[in-house]
Structure 1
Amino acid sequence: MTKLEQIEKIVAELDKYEFEAFSAWFEALQAERWDRQMEADAASGNLDHLAEKAFTDFRAGKTRRL
């Protein structure tokens, strides 16, 4: 059995309260990893093309107020 299969089995066996706690923990972990990846992408310049596109569209009048 793979690690993933073991985790799936264990999670499926959690009671309601354990599952809620696990879900909250996992959601926080996902958010933390997302933040770290966004920071790394921004620092490395991987998002520069998106910012430049937004500025280009703004200067060309292709945007609207939210």
Structure 2
Amino acid sequence: MTPLLEIKAAIEELPENDVRQLALWLQNYLDEAWDRQMETDLASGRLNDLIAKAEADIAANQVRELDKVLRNA
């Protein structure tokens, strides 16, 4: 059995509260990994073109309010 299958089987044996705690821990782990990747990408300059485009769009008033975007307005 692979480690992933072993982990899945072990999770299925846990009480619901433990699964929820594990899910929270896993989400925090993934959030921190995302943050580290963003910091790495920013430091390396990989985001420079996107930042420049966003700044140009803001300067040209080519942006919409976030809540309007989220509501598809």
- Structure 1 residue aligned with 2:56: 56
Answer yes or no: is 1:25 the counterpart of 2:4: no
Residue segments in structure 2 that go unaligned for 5+ positions in a row: 67-73
CA distance in 2, matches of 1:65, 1:56: 16
- Structure 1 residue aligned with 2:2: 2
> How much does 1:59 deviate?
2.2
- Supply the AA of the counterpart residue of 1:52: A
CA 1:13–1:45 in structure 2 vs 1: closer, same or farther (change >3 Å)? same
**Residues 3-34 of structure 1, C-alpha deviation per residue, up to 9 Å, x if partnerless?**
11111111122111111111111111111111
TM-score, scaled relative to structure 1: 0.85
Q: Compute the RMSD of aligned alpha carbons.
A: 1.4
**Residues 21-66 of structure 1, C-alpha deviation per residue, up to 9 Å, x if partnerless?**
1111111111111111111011111111110111121222212455
- Supply the AA of the counterpart residue of 2:10: I
Residue segments in structure 1 that go unaligned for 5+ positions in a row: none
- Structure 1 residue aligned with 2:34: 34
Alignment size in residue pairs: 66
